[in-house]
Every structure is written in structure tokens, then in C-alpha cells.
Structure 1
Amino acid sequence: MPVITEVELRDRIRRPRRGLKVTVPPGVRFSPSARDFIAQWGLEIVEERQEPQPPAPEPTPGAGGQRPAWDKPASFPVQFSGERPRCPVCGQPVHDKPEHMTQLDATHFAPKNIPRLRFRGKMDSVQGLMQLIAARARSWRLTDLAGHLDTLAAYCREIVSAEYNDREVAPIEVAGLDEAALREATHHPQKVLGIPHLTPGPDDHEILHWLNYLRAQVREAELGALDAFAPPPMYEPTRPDLIRALNRLSSAVYYLELLYKAGQFDWRVP
């Protein structure tokens, strides 16, 4: 059962005043110093009402419930073998790589600030943020949420691998849902989860704000993909699979927000 300390209680209230009503999750306990603080200010403690919520959508039947091939621990992405990569300008092998260049693919170096590599760097940032939020989720014992974030971090690696190797991105799966089920849940949350679309605010827990920020970063990565693979003047995507993958990744993060808000994850007050 979660325990709220005086420090955590002060952080929730910010500016205490006598008789203030404080809403807390059901079943929490208070540390001795927190109880003294409550008595000192005559605080009224009210437990959140737990409205019955529809269960989360059932997992979409798949290949025997197995994880997708891309959902695996990270490994070093570049394997150095075969001929040395070549300069994209002169076509000659590069023996001493300049500091301002890196591998575009297995056979070419390119300047680090071209749109493709900017997009790749943004995906690295998104993956790192996912892993950071997963660590925060584990600190609050949101183990299911952390596991889903691990899956999405693996999908970031799948996107980058597909971009680097010039192959199509595999479809996303998370929390037992495929692309179609994710789209249904995120477009119709009232129907699927019993809650309206989210507008995170000051009363929401920190983890929801982290997820909301993560979704914003994924959307920025999608813009980076469009800069790299749908340039002007036609703006016609040359890699529509990458654009779709980023769009669905944003939906997947939003679905985790919805699951959290719908009370589908067990948690404790930090």
C-alpha cells in the first residue's frame, strides 16, 4: 500500500491553508510526519472516487501471442564488414573518416547535418526519452507501463534500422494491439476505454506529463522524417512507410496516456 510522506504532501499542496481539501488515491497511508502536518493545518483528506471503467481492449490475435521480431534488447546497430564506405561526392573509399561525416548506410558516408541524419539523431533522442520515462515509471512501480515503453523504444530502433538499411518498417504492436486496434482506441477513447480525449493539466500526475511530452517529441520526429523524405517542392514522401510508422508511434504513446488515465495501470504515489 503506498505511503505519502510530509514532503510529498507539501509538494502536492504547494500553499497550505487551514481546512484545505486534499484528494489522494484510494488506499494510501500517511507517514507520521505527514499525519502531523494534516493535523496542524486541519486538512480534509478525500479519497479519489474510482469510477468503474471498461476493461482495456483485448489483445489482437497474433502469431501465438509472440512478440514482434523487432521487440528485443538493443545491440550495436552498425556491423563493419565488406568494402569501406565511399564518399558520396567523389565515390572513392573513405579510409580516414572526417569528423563532420558519419555512415549514411553500409556503403556511404555523409555530412552529419543532412536531413536524413538529423532525423536519425531525433529518433535517438526519442528512444532515450522513452527509456528515461520507463525508468521513472519503474520508480513508481508502474511496471506494465514501463514494459510498454520498452517495447516502443525497441520500435524506435526498428524505425532507424529500416531507414539505415533501406527496407520497409515493420508494423507496430504494443499492449497487445495492432495498428488498426490502436487507431480505433485513440480515435474513439470514450467508446473503447470509457474516457474522453485527454487535455493534461496541473492536477495530473507527473508521469502523464512525461508521456504527453514524449508524444510531442515523437510528432517532432515525424516532422523530421518529412523533411528528410518528403522535401519541397512536391512534398511527396519517398518513404511513406517511415511516415506511417512515426504517426502510429505517436498514437501508441497516446494510447499509453489513455490507459493510465483510465486507471488500467497499478501505481503508487512517489
Structure 2
Amino acid sequence: MDKHTSPKYITESYLLQHFGMRHGGEIQLEPGTRFTPAAQEMLNEKKIIVRWRDDKGQVFVEKSQSTAQQLDSDNSPELEKVHPLKSNNVRPTNACMLCHSDVSDKPALMTHLDDKMLVPKTHPRISLRGKLDACISYCVLVQCEMVQQPDLLKNFMADIRSYLGQILQSEVTGQPLPEPSLGEFSAAVIHQWSHHPLKYLGHDHMLPDVAYGPLVAQLNYLRALVRELELTATKVFLDDSMQLSSGGINREDIVAGLNRLSSAVYVVLILVWQCQNGQEELLKGLANETA
């Protein structure tokens, strides 16, 4: 979801160089940019959402379209301005969860659970959103510290940041959440790497240690924040009636997604350490796997 000063025509190679290109993710570009046929095909295949952001921070989407772009590369899309935190301009109603009536002036102690319902700010899902907000903010701080890292690792981090935003969107809208990926690498592959790092990444499991330096420490803290999010989400979505009968939870997709995301952060952590110790060839090997 990084903002770039981009050329007028976006090529496939430009997308791969500047964005993580996670399946189902989102990228932001300047208004007026267009795509080559190959770039457009890649966006369509990966179901990547494109939003446009100008130099004033205003965000636009293609008119009547909020999913992956299906544009003719020779034509500029017709855009409409949307709220930066949403993909539509729907004005929320103020139906109160407690009294089930419309509230003309939203009280300071209440907030929107969705576009229709007001709830107290102590609502468990609002608490979860607060933790997601903090995690996203810290993820961006880590990204800022990775500017000197190889492009592949920066793109992996862009995918992690994008997925955290998708979790928030999924929780608010109720849309199903896919599993996370790092570029072309699926959640199953990432899970395998994280459980057998010596075999796949050339280094055994790493516990927090000052000897690994500040960037690895920051990544480890981000991993811990994601794990904390997973535990919070499990508590929030635990359904008492299902617990009594089958031990199930609502929104298992969010809980599972967070579980896999912590593995993704752990993988990036190990790869950063390996590159800091002259093992950049590992990244070339990973890149060749997707070539």
C-alpha cells in the first residue's frame, strides 16, 4: 500500500519491483497512471485492488468498482473520491445497539461497529480494532527502518502491512479473509519455512536477543504484537454457544490469518538476519523458485 512517484504507464516489472503483489492485496498509485496489458493482466489474475492517491492525500477508486481492476490499459479510469479509510461514501446511520433506536447525536462514549450500528467503545471488537491500529502503525515504523534492505524483503513487508489492513477491513465489513502470502509464496509454504528455518532458510530458530541488533528486535516485537492480536481475536470471536457444543469460534478466518501472519513476520526476521550476515544468495534462491 505504499505510495510511489510512478511513471505514466505501469509495467509488470515496475509492479514486481515496487509492490509485494500479494494475492488479494491493494496498491496505491497517482491519479492518471495507466497499465500496460501485461501489468493489467497481473493485477486481474491476483485480484489486486488499485486505489489512487493524489499529493493532497485524497483517495480515489474507479467509479462503481471496488474490487480488482478490469480496465482497458489504453483508457484512464473514471474515478470518484472516497473516504481514505473506506472504499465507499456511505454515511453511517446511528442505530444504538443498546436501545435499538436511532441516535441523532452520537455520544462520545459510543462508536460505529459498522455503517448501521453504534456500540459502546468498550465493545470487544472495538478493542480488537484498537490493537490492529497499533500493530499497523508499528509495522509501518518497521518498514521505515528497512529502506536499506533488499527489494524482496521490503516487498514482503509491504505484503504484511497490506494484510493487516485487509484484516481490519474484513472485520468491519464481514467479508471473508484469505490466508496471507508473501509475494508468490503461499501461507502453506511460509508455515513450512517458519517451522523448519534451518532447512529452508539456513538458520535455526531465533529467540529475542540483543546480539541480533535493532532491526531484528523490531521485527520480533512486531511478531509478538501479531501473536497478541491472534489471542485477542480468539477471545473476541469465541462463541459461547458453540463453545459449549463444539468448541468453535466465529471468524476463524481472522484467527487463522493472524496465526499465519506471525509466521510470515518470523520468516522475514530470519531473512533479514541472514542478509545482514552476507547470505543474500538466499534471496536469489527464493526469487528463482517463483521465476
Question: TM-score of the superposition, structure 2-length normalised?
Answer: 0.63
The aligned length equals 201
CA distance in 2, matches of 1:109, 1:230: 21
Which position in structure 2 is the counterpart of 1:105? 114
CA distance in 1, matches of 2:152, 2:202: 20
Q: Helix, strand or coil: the match of 1:214? A: helix
Contact in 1 for aligned 2:177/2:253 (Cα 8 Å): yes
Please tell me whether Structure 1 or Structure 2 has the larger radius of gyration of its CA atoms: 1
Paired amino acid for 1:165: T
Q: Greater relative contact order (Cα 8 A, min sep 6): structure 1 or 2?
A: 1
More deviation in 69-78 or 160-169?
Answer: 69-78
Structure 2 spans left out of the alignment, 5+ residues? 1-19, 29-50, 52-83, 282-291
Paired amino acid for 1:163: E
Q: Helix, strand or coil: the match of 1:177? A: coil
Measured after TM superposition, the shift of residue 213 of structure 1 is 0.5
Matches within 5 A, 1:208-247: 208-230=216-238, 234=243, 236-247=248-259
Which position in structure 2 is the counterpart of 1:24? none
Q: Of the candidates 161, 164, 168, which is equivalent to residue 160 of structure 1?
A: 168
CA distance in 1, matches of 2:235, 2:111: 19
Which position in structure 2 is the counterpart of 1:86? 95
Paired amino acid for 2:212: D
Q: Of the candidates 143, 146, 158, which is equivalent to residue 150 of structure 1?
A: 158
Paired amino acid for 2:211: D
Q: Is 1:248 the equivalent of 2:248?
A: no
CA distance in 2, matches of 1:179, 1:227: 23
Which position in structure 2 is the counterpart of 1:128? 137
Aligned CA RMSD, in angstroms, stands at 2.4
Runs of 4+ in 1 over 6 A off after TM superposition: none
Q: CA separation of 1:187/1:247 partners in 2, compared to 1, >3 Å: closer, same or farther? A: same
Matches within 5 A, 1:42-57: none
Question: TM-score of the superposition, structure 1-length normalised?
Answer: 0.68
Which position in structure 1 is the counterpart of 2:270? 258
Paired amino acid for 2:250: T
Which position in structure 1 is the counterpart of 2:23? 68
Q: CA separation of 1:97/1:209 partners in 2, compared to 1, >3 Å: closer, same or farther? A: same
Percentage of matched positions with identical amino acids: 30
Deviations along 1:112-155, whole A, 9 cap, x unmatched? Answer: 121111011101110100001101111x4555433322221111
Paired amino acid for 2:206: L
